[in-house]
Amino acid sequence: MELQKKIRNLADKYFDDVVKIRRAIHANPELAFEEHETSKLVSDILGKQGVVVSHVAKTGIIGTLKGTKNGKTVALRSDMDALPIREATGLPFASKNEGKMHACGHDAHTAIGLGAAMILSELKNEIHGEVRFLFQPSEEKNPGGAPFMIQDGALDGVDEIYGLHVIAQHDAGTVGFCEGEMMASADELYITIKGKSGHGARPHFATDPIVTAAQVILGLQTLVSRSLDPFSQGVITIGSIHGGFAPNIIPEEVKLVGTLRSMTKQWREYAHARVKEITEGICASAGASCEVLIDKGYPVLRNEPGKTHFAEECARELFGSDQVFKAERLMGAEDFAYYLEKVPGTFYRLGIRNQKSGITADIHNDHFTIDEEALRTGMAMQAYLAMRSLAQV
Catalytic (active-site) positions: 298, 372
3-state secondary structure of 181: strand
Whether 206 and 196 have beta carbons less than 8 Å apart is answered as yes
- 290: exposed, middle or buried (Cβ count in 10 Å: 0-12, 13-18, 19+): buried
Kind of pairing, strands 60-66 and 185-194? unpaired
Contacts of 308 (CB under 8 A, 6+ apart): 177, 178, 179, 346, 348
3-state secondary structure of 314: helix
* φ, ψ (nearest 5 deg) of residue 349: -100, 145
Whether 29 and 102 have beta carbons less than 8 Å apart is answered as yes
181-214 per-residue burial string, b: 16 or more CB within 10 A, e: under 16: bbbbbbbebebbbbbeebeeeeeeebbbbbbbbe
Whether 208 and 215 have beta carbons less than 8 Å apart is answered as no
Adjacent-strand bridge partners of 63: 53, 133
d(CA 222, CA 278) in angstroms, rounded, equals 10
Cite the DSSP H helix spans in 95-208.
106-122, 146-151
